[in-house]
Amino acid sequence: MEVERVSTGSDPIDSFLKGGLETGIITNVFGESGSGKTNFCVQVAAHLADQGEKVVYIDTEKGFSPERFKQIASDEALENLVVNEPLDFEEQEEAIESLENIVEENDASAVIVDSMVSLYRLKAKGDQYQEINQRLSQQLSELSKIARKEDIPVLITNQVYTSFDEEGLELVGRDVPRYWSKCLLQLSNEKNGVRKIEIEKHRSMPEGKSAQFKITNSGLDTVDEKGLF
Ligand code: ATP
Ligand code: MG
């Protein structure tokens, strides 16, 4: 059976991912603040919406900017987005509980959650930690089920923190999003506004494989030969 991929509309990202986002699984784009996670989401949403496809967009931190969207897509494309803005972890839970119906009613081609863990992070403290982790896991399980059942890509973003026990950056939520995301992509900032995308986990590509891109008005673009723009 061939793996289906959905174009992100970005040349460097599509060529890096051999066609785009895989359907049927959760792709998790993680990285530090300002590394381009929200831009990645808007790129995908704008490209699909521009083609008349419906996209369910769960925005947990007012990261979505219609102005930015319209730099990439036509004004009318905005109507193809079904936006939900949960204000706390309970509302995020409700949004995900009703998601399957919303996807089916709209015949949506993708689900985007930016970010999966910002409201979780506010809640996951002290003695509630285990229960909150379980609820995050439940939400990711539901997203994974929707990806499979509807055969669409689910794109989530994930904040990181500096881990002192292990080396480097750790995902907020740690093993929970790591387990449920069949594709993990790390974004980071390099010099001169150049961004790097690197595979941390993938079903058919090696860890550590990376590519460069840049953020421009038209979305996630190719870095030219000189690395300048
Ligand atoms: P956070 O974790 O804080 O949400 P993020 O990873 O989602 O961060 P983004 O919001 O995607 O990061 O990226 C912010 C970067 O995108 C900024 O450096 C900003 O300069 C750049 N950016 C946004 N719009 C444009 C544009 N039209 N042209 C060039 N760069 C842009
Ligand atoms: Mg963001």
**Are the beta carbons of 82 and 56 closer than 8 angstroms?**
yes
How far is the centre of ligand 1, averaged over its atoms, from the C-alpha of 51 (Å)?
24
pLDDT at 225: 67
Nearby residues of 200 by Cβ (< 8 Å), 6 or more positions away? 30, 184, 185, 186, 207
3-state DSSP assignment of residue 28: strand
Q: Which helix (H) or strand (E) holds 39?
A: helix 37-50
Condensed to tens digits (0 to 9), the pLDDT of residues 57-80 reads 999 999 999 999 999 999 999 999
How far is the centre of ligand 1, averaged over its atoms, from the C-alpha of 216 (Å)?
10
* 3 state SS for 163-228: CCCCCCEEECCCHHHHHHCCEEEEEEECHHHEEEEEEEECCCCCCCCEEEEEEECCEEECCCCCCC
Nearby residues of 181 by Cβ (< 8 Å), 6 or more positions away? 25, 26, 27, 28, 140, 156, 158, 201
CA distances from 34 to 39, 68, 113, 151, 199 (A): 9, 15, 17, 31, 19
3-state DSSP assignment of residue 85: coil
Condensed to tens digits (0 to 9), the pLDDT of residues 7-39 reads 999 999 999 999 999 999 999 999 999 999 999
How far is the centre of ligand 1, averaged over its atoms, from the C-alpha of 169 (Å)?
20
Enumerate residues with CB within 5 Å of ligand 2 (an ion).
Answer: 37-38, 63
CA distances from 200 to 31, 73, 183 (A): 11, 30, 8
Q: Which helix (H) or strand (E) holds 161?
A: strand 160-162
Residues touching ligand 1 (Cβ under 6 Å) are 31, 33-39, 63, 68, 71, 159, 215-217
**Ligand nearest, relative to CA of residue 36:** 1
Question: Residue with the nearest Cα to atom 21 of ligand 1?
Answer: 215
Give the orientation angle of helix 89-97 with respect to helix 99-106, to 10 degrees.
Answer: 50
Centroid of chain to Cα 144: 13
- Testing ligand 1's pocket by substitution, the residue of 8, 192, 215, 220 carrying the most ligand atoms inside 8 A of its CB is 215
* Confidence band of 163 (pLDDT split at 50, 70, 90): confident
pLDDT of 185 strictly over 60 = yes
pLDDT of 150 strictly over 80 = yes
How far is the centre of ligand 2, averaged over its atoms, from the C-alpha of 158 (Å)?
9
Question: Residue with the nearest Cα to atom 17 of ligand 1?
Answer: 34
What's the predicted TM-score (pTM) here? 0.97
- Testing ligand 1's pocket by substitution, the residue of 10, 37, 72, 220 carrying the most ligand atoms inside 8 A of its CB is 37
